[in-house]
Structure formats: C-alpha cells, structure tokens
Chain A
Amino acid sequence: MNFWVIQGLNGLAFGSLLFILASGFSLIFGLMRIVNLSHGAYFMLGAYVGLSAIDAGVSFWVAILIGGLAISVLGAIIERFILRRLSGQPLAQVLVTLGIAFIIADACVWIWTGDPRPVPMPRELAGAFRVQQLAFPIYRLFVIGVAFTLAATLWFLLERSRLGAMIRAGVDDLSMARAMGIRTSLLFPVVFCLGSALAGAGGVLAGPILSVYPGLDTDMLPLALVVVILGGIGSLLGAFIGSLIIGFIYSYGQALFPDLAYVILFLPMVLVLTLRPTGLFGRQAI
C-alpha cells in the first residue's frame, strides 16, 4: 500500500516538473509550428544558471527568478534574430533549434564541467511530511503545488483573456488569424519568451530532485515531446493531463519494470499516434 502511495506522489511530482517544461513547449509548437528541440537545453541551462546564482549567495527563490529570466532573454534573442529570419521554413527552424541545443549542451560542459551537480534544497522545504508510517519529501509536495498553481494561472491567461483568445485562434488556424488582423508576429515573441522562462525556471525547480548533469537536456526533451503528442499540440489541458500520465508511468514503470521503463513510456505515444493522431485534446495532427 505504502509503495503505491509513495510512487504515486513521486509520479505526481515528476509529472509536475514535466508540465512546467511541456506547457511552454506545447504552446510554441502549437502557435509557431516550431518543434523547439532546444527546449530541453533551456531547462538544463536554467538549472545551471540557478545553481551558479545560489553559489554566488542568492536565495533559492531568487535563483528560480534568475534562471527563468536568463532563459527568457536567451529565448527572446533566438526568436528575434534566428527563428524570425527563418519564418515559413519549419524544417530549417527545427534544425536550427537542434543546433542551438548542441551548442548550449557543449557550453554547459565547458562552463560547469561534466560532473553532476546537486542543486541545494531551500532549507525551509527540507525534511519530510509524515502521515502515520508514510514519509514524503516536503519539497516534492511543494513542486506539485507550484505546477498546479501554474496550470491554473496559464489556464486563466489562455482561456479568460483576449490575448489568450488570440493565441488560441493562432493555434487553431494561423493564416485565418492573420487574415482577421490578429498580429501574430507580436504573439510569437510573447509565447516564445513565456515558454523559455518556464523551461529555465522549471530547470532550477527540478534541480534539488533531479540534480543538474550533462544529458539532463536529452533526458527531458523526449519526455516533453511524448507529453505533447499524448495531450495534443498547443493544448494546455493536454499538456497537463499528458504530463501527469507520463509522470505516473515513469514512476511506476521505473519501480515495477525497470528493464521496460522506456518501452512503457513510449508505448502510449505509439498508441495515440496510431489511433488518435491529434492527441487526446489537440486539434492538429502531427
């Protein structure tokens, strides 16, 4: 019994981290039609930047802000000076994001060396939450809380504001949104910066659980991709449900069938691609 509860909570915590990563990835994919293959690298770089900020003496909370801000500035530069020049050439855009991912990964090894680095947990959230014989790290509960708050905030922004309606109109039918006079060229940087900031801040937040190490980027990116395929491109609800599903599968799969962990992770993706190519909540097929 304890096993199921603890692994369930672990799955929820991991799914929460995935949601923070995948929500931005999905919105960028849905609106700009860019599979941003550097999204995992943003996550890793955000974690490293946060780590250095903590080493320099700032608090964990400020480090999250710094990580998010740094990556959103980086995202803004990449969107403005690279991706926009390649607009209308999806293949070139995807390839360039892959190249950027390699550059970031190499730069990280160069700056922070190849050793795994744990990100220190904020003191106020150290320790475990106990109910009867169950003990669960408070920090993970906190991460779950952050993800649910973020989901509610993003939902409000997307579903209840005019800006959100414009973004969803662009996801539904980009050329029609443009023909109605919606200035999508102004929406792109907003969404790209938001997604980048979430990836960067999410990396710092994940640090105390996952540590930072070379390869964190390529560990996380396929999972974000699976989440988006499962949930549907550009769908916030899809990213949320998809992240939780993958979080649970990852957690129980690692514990129950460690040899098959990857198979059961990608099996749902194959099923969804075959049976429902738009994903559970999406509108466009891959």
Chain B
Amino acid sequence: MGTDALVISGLNAFYGESHVLHDLSFTVKQGQVLGLLGRNGAGKTTCISAIIGLVRANATHLELFGQSIAGLSPEAISLKGVGLVPQGRRIFPSLTVYENLTVAARRNRSAQRADWTLDDVYTAFPRLAERQRQLAGSLSGGEQQMLAICRALMTNPQLILFDEPSEGLAPQIVAEVAAVLKRLRDSGLSIILVEQNIKLALEIADEVVVLNTGYIAHTGAASSLRADSQRIEQLLGVY
C-alpha cells in the first residue's frame, strides 16, 4: 500500500519516565482527512509532535507515502513533505508576514498538485497581502491562524497536520478556518486534523481516531460517528 499518505503502527512515546502514547496504529489515506480527537491530555498534540519529529518516539512503522520517516529530525521530515499548523499558531512574531511566508517556502517535488505560491496565498487571503510588511506578532489571533496555515502551505506539503486550528478564535473566524480546511481537502491534500471542536472535526473528516489517555479508543468513519451521538458522548463527553 504505497499510496497511503501516512501509515503509523506501534507508535509509543515517552516524556521522561511516563509513557504517554501506547501502541498507536492508524493510516491516513491519500487525499483524506483524518480527525484525531480526544479529551484534554489524551495525547493528540504529542502524537502530532511525534509525527513531525519534535518528540522522540518509537514506532514499528512510520511511513510517509511508503517512505520511512522514523527517527528523522523535524527539518528532514518537513522537507519530505509534512506541513504543520501547530497548536497556538506559533508564527514567528518578530518576522514580517511576508518573511513568515517565504522563510521556509519551497517547491513541491512530486508536482502532483499545483504549487502554492505567494501570489496564490495573497489572492486567497487578501488580509495577509494588506499586512505583508507588518510584524506577524502584531496580527490579530484570526490573522495569525491564517498566517500559520499559509506558512505551512508555502512549504507545499503532501500531508498537513492541523493542531487545533479553531482554538481561541471567534465563531466567524472558526467558520473561515473551516472553509479553508474544506477547500484544502477538496484540493486533494492529505490532512490530519486535531480538534476540540467535535462538530467541526466530524463535518470535515473522512475517518476518525479517538484517543483516550494515550490509547486508541475508537477508529471508524466520521459519518458513522456523526450519526451516533451516544457514542460521541461516551468517547468525548462533550458535544
């Protein structure tokens, strides 16, 4: 199955002595959105950090489009085509909007999709074009989130990891973020979406993995979970 975007099996991660991810296994199919859900502290962000290489983890398999990325440095994993929109946005505050977008920009080597260029980003997000000379730290939360998304797009990834993109944003900005996510999904990008906003996640995701204290508690199609509010309540306790 060389066509899967990401295959994870037997993923374990530790913070010092404490074992935080237990034998996680799941697959992100090419062009699909995998929703990674769970309560606070379930290990979602750790899982994202393990995929991008920021947290040391052991895995039997960690394959990006059939190529092993286990044990590589974050920069090497990024260069192989993994984009990250991190929790808390983490744009580079003392760089301008333009610099945030161009500092890590690069072409997509597989060239299966059209590349994202600065012009594409500015056309899609005119606010960023207006503020391109401004320091990114001075943007509003919503603008920073758009910038974080575009910064990842400018690296032209094949798989993009979204870690709580709706966190701390006003409802109309959340709707904007949702629209962007749908557009990216429809463009054929493979996506992992971590969300506390269950409704948003189930609306966008194809497949869902639910984590509970570092274990996989549920795997299945988003559509079936969407119809089963009792199961959602049981797994996530909020809706």
Contacts and interface: CB of A to CB of B under 8 A. Distances in A.
A172 interface: yes
Contact of A179 (B86, B95, B100, B103): B86
A176 B100 CA distance: 11
Interface stretch (A1-9, A108-116, A143-151, A181-189): A181-189
B90 A173 contact: yes
B155 interface: yes
B78 interface: yes
Contact of B92 (A176, A184, A185): A176
B186 interface: no
Contact of A172 (B78, B79, B93): B93
Nearest to A186: B75
A159 to B, nearest CB: 9
A176 to B, nearest CB: 5
A33 interface: no
A68 B33 CA distance: 54
A54 interface: no
Contacts, number: 67
A172 B86 contact: no
A168 interface: yes
A173 to B, nearest CB: 6
Interface string A164-203: 0110110111011111111111000000000000000000
B106 A169 contact: no
Contact of A178 (B75, B94, B102, B155): B75
A162 interface: yes
B177 to A, nearest CB: 19
A283 interface: yes
Contact of B104 (A168, A175, A182): A182
Instruction: Decide if the interface of chain B is mainly helix, strand, loop or mixed.
Output: loop
Nearest to A175: B54
A185 B75 contact: yes
A175 B52 CA distance: 10
A182 B75 contact: yes
Nearest to B154: A180
The CB with the most chain B CB atoms within 10 A, among A165, A168, A183, A185, is that of A165
Nearest to A178: B74
A175 B94 contact: no
Contact of B155 (A162, A181, A185): A181
Nearest to A235: B94
Contacts of B74: 175, 178-179
A171 B78 CA distance: 19
A184 B95 contact: no
B149 interface: no
A61 B145 CA distance: 51
Contacts of B95: 165, 168-169, 172
A110 to B, nearest CB: 41
B159 interface: no
Interface in B57-109: 73-75, 78-79, 84, 86, 90, 92-95, 99-100, 102-104, 106
A168 B92 contact: yes
Interface string B170-195: 00000000000000000000000000
A179 B102 contact: no
A129 B111 CA distance: 65
A228 B18 CA distance: 37
B151 interface: yes
A166 B94 contact: no
Interface of A: 162, 165-166, 168-169, 171-173, 175-185, 283
Given A172-B94, A173-B90, A175-B74, 19 more contacts: A162-B103, A166-B103, A169-B92, A169-B95, A169-B99, A172-B93, A175-B54, A176-B84, A176-B90, A176-B92, A178-B75, A179-B52, A179-B84, A180-B103, A180-B104, A181-B104, A181-B106, A183-B75, A185-B73
19 contacts: A162-B102, A165-B95, A165-B99, A166-B103, A169-B95, A169-B99, A172-B94, A173-B90, A178-B78, A179-B75, A179-B84, A180-B152, A181-B75, A181-B78, A181-B106, A181-B155, A183-B75, A184-B75, A283-B94
Interface of B: 52-54, 73-75, 78-79, 84, 86, 90, 92-95, 99-100, 102-104, 106, 151-152, 155
